[in-house]
Amino acid sequence: MLKIEKIAEKVEQLLQRAQTHHLFDRDQSQPIYDEQLFNQKGNSIAKCIKETQAIFNGLKNHIHQPEATSDRARYLAEKLIDQMTAIEKTLEDNTTSFTYENDQQVQIRQLSEQLKQHQEWERRLLLMVKEAELTYEQSQQAQCAQQKLIQVQSRLRRCQQAKLLIEKNLHYIERKT
């Protein structure tokens, strides 16, 4: 009797988990599952879970009948396990792909923000390079001004390289979606 209660709890958890899923009440254009696994057209997770609950109730009722056969109980138990496993797998697969899409959107947003930041830094560094060039041309301390110019130009190159890498990653991710 304890095992039946655990199975009932598992079926209820599966139902609750499926209800929060983004595909729960959407009818798919094609069946999600094989027709032998679910008697009705398995084109909605909600309908499939209702059938799983019916199989569970049938198993529970069968066990309590005096003329219960072990073959029938085994058949219902195997069908119940197969259905629950299939539903769990569908929920995990679709949650993963849904999460993956969200992760890609987050990556695109983060890379776009980084790109904007690097563009701003590049603009500032270009101004600093122009300022350092003017200082170098007008300075009596040419060596110090030249060193500052080289440093600013180096920072500008690193910024531009980082910006190009961000753009490349952004384009790569956008092409994947």
Highest mean predicted confidence (pLDDT) among 41-45, 101-105, 160-164: 160-164
| Residue 54, pLDDT above cutoff 80 | yes
As a whole number, the mean pLDDT across the chain is 80
Please name which of 18, 147, 148 lies closest in space to residue 93, comparing C-alpha atoms: 18
Distances (CA, A) of 116 to 48, 159, 168: 48, 12, 14
Averaged pLDDT for residues 20-40: 66
Average pLDDT rounded to a whole number, residues 73-97 = 78
pLDDT of 1 strictly over 50: no
Least Cα distance to 53 among 26, 23, 28, 84 occurs for 84
Average pLDDT over residues 37-45: 70
Using the predicted structure, report yes or no on whether residue 126 has a pLDDT greater than 90: yes
The proportion of the chain whose per-residue pLDDT surpasses 90, expressed as a percent, equals: 16
Model confidence at 98: pLDDT above 70 = no
Contact between residue 78 and residue 29 where contact means Cβ atoms under 8 Å apart: no
pLDDT-derived band at 161, boundaries 50, 70, 90 = very high
Q: What is the number of other CB atoms lying within 10 angstroms of the CB of residue 166?
A: 20
Confidence class for position 138, pLDDT limits 50, 70, 90: confident
The DSSP code sequence of 73-102 is HHHHHHHHHHHHHHHHHHHHHHHHHHHHHH
Which CB contacts under 8 angstroms, 24+ apart, belong to 134-142?
Answer: none
Residue 115: closest CA among 158, 45, 166, 49: 166
Integer Cα distance of 172 and 177 in angstroms: 9
Listed as own residue / partner, the contacts of 18-25 with beta carbons closer than 8 Å and 24 or more positions apart are 18/45, 18/46, 18/49, 18/87, 18/91, 21/45, 21/91, 21/94, 21/95, 22/94, 22/98, 23/90, 23/94
Highest mean pLDDT of the ranges 38-47, 76-85, 95-104, 121-130: 121-130
Residue 3 clears pLDDT 90, i.e. is over it? no
pTM: 0.49
Closest CA to 14 of 42, 40, 52: 52
Q: Where are the domains of the chain?
A: 2-102, 103-176
Between the alpha carbon of residue 26 and those of residues 30, 46, 108, the distances in Å are: 11, 8, 28
Q: Which carries the bigger pLDDT value, residue 74 or residue 40?
A: 74
pLDDT at 100 over 60: no
